[in-house]
Structure 1
Amino acid sequence: MNNSDTLETQCQPCQGGMNALSQDQIKSYMQTINPAWQYLPEAVSIKRSFNFKNFSKTMFFVNAVAAMADQQGHHPDVEFGYNYCRVRLTTHEAKGLTTNDFICAKKVDGLV
């Protein structure tokens, strides 16, 4: 199974012992998601900003992200305002990025 196939699956529960991805693995996974996602090495996270026409559309997106995150059991940091939303993903338990972060990035993109 390659990285692209992995991202079509569901998040795996973090039950201790989940290892963070290596820099090479992160680089490989970054090539499989939308290029609008940014890797933030200092925060060991990935982030993407979204813009919307108005507050209503922003809130619809935020609520869809929340529902998807609950279903996946993997929750991003979300910041939003009138016509924007920023989504940041990391796996706190692993103290870095895991496959779950890239799975959720793909699923967030599918909500747009």
Structure 2
Amino acid sequence: MHRGDLLNKRCQPCTGGTPPLSAETSRGLLEMLPGWALRNERLEKLFAFKNHYEVMAFVNAIAWVSHRENHHPELTVGYKDCRVSYSTHAINGLSENDFICAAKLERLREI
């Protein structure tokens, strides 16, 4: 699997019976996402920008991806940066949805 595979997928609803991804699977998916890290069962990255305007434009793009995928990260917005943190609350851990959305944010950053 490569990042293009994640970009072509859509998030699927997780139910309480869906198990979180294993550590091994999460590490394998993480290899496709440069700069992202696994911390406390969350997928995280700090995005840095030239100014606050660029940060806010990126935050709005994140909102668009989140709405389209119906999967929402936690954001910490600063003057020149934004920390994005994904976890799937319904299953208390990471799901493929977290990695799908992270891949889509990476694609946005490349544009």
Checking the alignment, whether the CA contact within 8 Å between 2:20 and 2:92 is kept in structure 1 is yes
Map of 1:67 onto structure 2: 64
Checking the alignment, whether the CA contact within 8 Å between 2:33 and 2:103 is kept in structure 1 is yes
Gaps of 5+ in 1: none
Structure 2 residue 37 is the aligned partner of structure 1 residue 38: yes
**TM-score scaled by structure 2?**
0.89
Find the aligned partners of 1:4 and 1:67 in 2 and give their Cα distance. Answer: 20
Change (3 A) 1:5 1:53: closer
- For residue 45 of structure 2, give the secondary structure of its aligned residue in structure 1: strand
Find the aligned partners of 1:4 and 1:65 in 2 and give their Cα distance. Answer: 18
Checking the alignment, whether the CA contact within 8 Å between 1:3 and 1:32 is kept in structure 2 is yes
**TM-score scaled by structure 1?**
0.89
Identity score, percent:
37
1:98 aligned residue (91, 95, 103): 95
Map of 2:107 onto structure 1: 110
AA of the residue aligned to 1:32:
M
AA of the residue aligned to 2:33:
I
Deviations along 1:76-112, one digit per CA (max 9) or x if unpaired, are 0011111110000010111100100000110111111
Map of 1:88 onto structure 2: 85
Deviation, structure 1 residue 14 = 2.4
Gaps of 5+ in 2: none
Deviation, structure 1 residue 7 = 1.2
Deviation, structure 1 residue 16 = 3.3
Checking the alignment, whether the CA contact within 8 Å between 2:55 and 2:79 is kept in structure 1 is yes
Deviation, structure 1 residue 51 = 0.8
Deviation, structure 1 residue 24 = 1.1
AA of the residue aligned to 2:37:
Q
The ranges of structure 1 where at least 4 consecutive aligned residues each deviate by more than 6 angstroms after the TM superposition are: none
- For residue 18 of structure 1, give the secondary structure of its aligned residue in structure 2: coil
Aligned residues: 108
